[in-house]
Amino acid sequence: MARKLDKTEEMPTTGHEWDGIREYDTPMPRWWILTFYGTIIFSVIYVILYPAIPLVNGATPGILGYSTRAEVAEEIAAFRDANAALDEQLVETELTAIADDADLNRYATAGGAAIFKTYCAQCHGAGAAGAVGYPNLLDDAWLWGGDIENIHQTISHGIRSDTDFDTRFSEMPAFGDNYLSDEEITAVAEYVYSLTNDDADATLAAAGAETFVNECSACHGENAEGNIDLGAPNLADAIWLYGGDRETLIETITYSRAGMMPPWVDRLTEAQIRQVSAYVHQLGGGE
Amino acid sequence: MSAPSDAPKLYEAQEPVFPRRVSGYFRTLKWWIMGITLGIYYLTPWIRWDRGPNLPDQAVLVDMANRRFFFFWIEIWPHEFYFVAGLLIMAGLGLFLFTSALGRVWCGYSCPQTVWTDLFILVERWIEGDRNARLRLWNAPWSAKKARLRVTKWTVWMLIAIATGGAWVFYFADAPTLLVQLFTGQAPFVAYGSVAVLTATTFIFGGFLREQVCIYMCPWPRIQAAMMDEDTLTVAYRDWRGEPRGKKHENTTGDCIDCMACVNVCPQGIDIRDGQQLECITCALCIDACDDIMAKIGKPRGLIDYCTLADEGRERAGEPPRPAWKHIVRPRTIVYTALWTLVGVGLLVALFIRTDLTMSVAPVRNPTFVTMSDGTIRNTYEVRLRNQTGAPRELHLSVTSPEVLRIELEGTPELSIEVPADSTYNQRVYLYARPGSPAAEAARTDARIWVEDPGSTTRAYSDTIFHGSGE
């Protein structure tokens, strides 16, 4: 019987009283106190077996040698093993055929997204929208080509890398370096400006057009449509890497531009590079 | 600080309770409720329900891995979890309603602790005999017979406990498959773990802790006090009729002959004549026991009965109690019923107006728009399509807007995609505005993305925003 509520017998109380309410002092159930002692024994065993007591540097290791860090490392290794077959398949598949295999494509783009945010987002932005001097990877303008093979080549070997012999390389002269006069540069800039703007000075642009044909069209093309073999940008479209206003154009022509991108072939595995390639290719601008 | 010499003990052993067998109206009711609730619990996972080739055929299934809940013809997806929330709210309101009307009726009749303890006591009675035999056995020294009876009882308890723990896991996987897996050692570790834990709790709680669970572990006895009022029907002893108690030949005037029948049948080990108390789960077995005695001594039934506090004064004054329904139907219970019904009707309406094709559209905001080389403005949207049917569907996407926008899908030149049966499909969608068009130059333009199943007339839409280059 849990409690003897016999009106003739006074129940023991603790002696505490609040506004006439007194606190019973009934014994605890034995199972309760045994459970309580059980938890104390458990905690002692736990402290012996597992990391428990914080010290200045780290904590007591516990005799099982358990560590959450090691557990994470094991989990990562387990995932690597689990993905090994897919990685192999990814490396063996033609780059252009990756998108045809739905499962492989999902694996590649999901992994590529993670790698992109780790290694690429610093320059190209977490959303791949780029910044001044760092190309936007979402649009349909590609300096060095936007099909998956070109993207793969660019990621592998970088742009203007001084350590990778297979890097993509081209060099725009600095025309201000005693090569073109300030007036000529202003005129060329006005011509380039006129290609995409209606408010250009027609006379000045006409003068610049002649200089453009002589000095610039070799790389940028006669219609300023650019050349992906040379990484020469299209100057007649709506997209500007450094800016399309007159001042920026003059600065670009005077001092030249030479953006760099590191090669990744030594830092990422082939499977990882293919993952990023597939990811970048499907961002919306891939050709 | 020194303790007084007559300080009570720090702890004491559980005093075993040996409830006597009783029969009567409430015992019969409890047998029925036990049979029905246990039947529902053990058998439900085995009911089959054909949902076509792509979906499981188990009528009630909580499919954690695929995040689906199946209940006969209803299938709940994670985004429809409000149904579960609604049912929990209804369960809560239902508990309020029943407690304010009938006291701890949940505890006494349908709480799993009560139902399984009842079942375990039934087994105990079959094997060891009724109260007196069990008391004798308890006090007897260990012998071959005592050991045999104990081991037999524990074995049957253990089998019930295993069946109970086992039945639980069948709600979470295909029952016939899992049953085979459990016996062949192929079942996942979590299944064995769940069975082991629930077997242990059933065995210990039903076999040994019993009333201790109600008295010391369960929070409900504490909460329920706030739900009861003077019109709540609870099990009570009519002391004005029973007292002064005494043996019949002692010529006392009260109806109570102090036969202890009410105490002997009590699974909680209390004396209801002490008044309402925390330990009482209102199982009403003492009513059956007392009615039986009253019939034998030729007194009217109901010395122990469902009573309300409100009637006490009337009854002491010799008036009859008011009928039970007048206590049950009162503003408080009407409000609870109304709220309960409101939530229930809301859920039913939500159930019938929901479609089997839904979508959600998340505009990509980094960046909000992309300028293409010809000056076209492009916005990107992550579209989730949910095909909540058991068959794959070819779904067509389109856009409507006050301005002119063009829609394209990533990875396909088509505007249709096949979404597999019972699945969510993520599709990146592009909207384009021509250079210089109003949508391209405005800051924001309203857009509505539609998805439709050309095979049926089902369609759904989601409103979103198109960002142009304007400020």
Which one, of B261, B317, B327, lies nearest residue B293 by Cα?
B261
Closest CB to A30 among B12, B275, B380: B12
Are β-strands B68-71 and B60-63 bridged in parallel, bridged antiparallel, or unpaired?
Answer: antiparallel
CB A157 within 8 A of CB A149: no
- Does the distance separating the beta carbons of A29 and B372 come in below 8 Å? no
User: Mind listing the pLDDT tens digit of every residue in chain B (471 residues)?
Assistant: 444 446 678 888 888 999 999 999 999 999 999 999 999 999 999 999 999 888 999 999 999 989 999 999 999 999 898 999 999 999 999 999 999 999 999 999 999 999 999 999 999 999 999 999 999 999 999 999 999 999 999 999 999 999 999 999 999 999 999 999 999 999 999 999 999 999 999 999 999 999 999 999 999 988 888 889 999 999 999 999 988 888 766 666 789 999 999 999 999 999 999 988 889 999 999 999 999 999 999 999 999 999 999 999 999 998 999 999 999 999 999 999 999 999 999 999 999 998 889 999 999 999 999 999 999 999 999 999 999 988 999 999 999 999 999 999 998 899 999 999 999 999 999 999 999 999 999 999 999 999 999 888 889 999 999 999 988
Closest CB to A138 among B13, B15, B370: B370
Decide if A20 touches B, using CB distance below 8 A: no
- Does the distance separating the beta carbons of A239 and B373 come in below 8 Å? yes
Secondary structure of residue B418 in the 3-state scheme: strand
Which one, of B309, B268, B310, B307, lies nearest residue B285 by Cα?
B268
With a CB cutoff of 8 Å and minimum separation 6, the contacts of B7 are A12, A25
Interface of B with A (CB under 8 A): 6-15, 17, 209, 211-212, 215-216, 268-271, 274-275, 277, 279, 364-367, 370-375, 378, 380, 410-411, 428, 430, 435
Distance CA B179, CA B189 (A): 14
DSSP B8: P
Are β-strands A28-29 and B11-12 bridged in parallel, bridged antiparallel, or unpaired?
Answer: parallel
Say whether A182-255 and A82-167+261-281 share the same fold.
Answer: yes
Query: What angle do helix axes B175-184 and B144-170 make, rounded to 10 degrees?
Result: 130
Decide if A29 touches B, using CB distance below 8 A: yes
- Does the distance separating the beta carbons of B375 and A12 come in below 8 Å? no
CATH 1.10.760.10 is the classification of domain A82-167+261-281: yes
Domain spans, chain B: 25-79+98-224, 357-467
Closest CB to A139 among B269, B373, B428: B373
Can you identify the CATH homologous superfamily of domain A182-255?
A: Cytochrome c-like domain (1.10.760.10)
Longest CA–CA span in chain A (Å) reads 120
Decide if A238 touches B, using CB distance below 8 A: yes
CA–CA distances in Å: residue A274 to residues A54, A107, A138: 44, 11, 18
Secondary structure of residue B300 in the 3-state scheme: coil
Residues of B in contact with A141 (CB under 8 A): 372-373
Compare all CA atoms of chain A with the CA of B431 and give the residue at the minimum distance: A284
Distance CA B75, CA B90 (A): 19
Task: Indicate the burial class of A282 (C-beta count within 10 angstroms; 0-12, 13-18, 19 or more).
Answer: buried
**Backbone torsions φ then ψ of B322, nearest 5 degrees:** -75, 150
Residues of B in contact with A99 (CB under 8 A): 411
Compute the nearest-CA separation of A281 from chain B (Å). Answer: 10
CATH 2.60.40.10 is the classification of domain B357-467: yes
Decide if A129 touches B, using CB distance below 8 A: yes
Query: Tokens 């453009």, residue?
Result: A212
Compute the nearest-CA separation of B177 from chain A (Å). Answer: 26
- pTM (2 d.p.): 0.82
Which one, of A171, A225, A216, lies nearest residue A189 by Cα?
A216
Distance CA A142, CA A234 (A): 9
Domain spans, chain A: 24-65, 82-167+261-281, 182-255
- Does the distance separating the beta carbons of A29 and B11 come in below 8 Å? yes
**Backbone torsions φ then ψ of B325, nearest 5 degrees:** -65, -30
For residue A202, what are its two tokens?
């027609």
Decide if A141 touches B, using CB distance below 8 A: yes
DSSP lists the bridge partners of residue B425 as B385
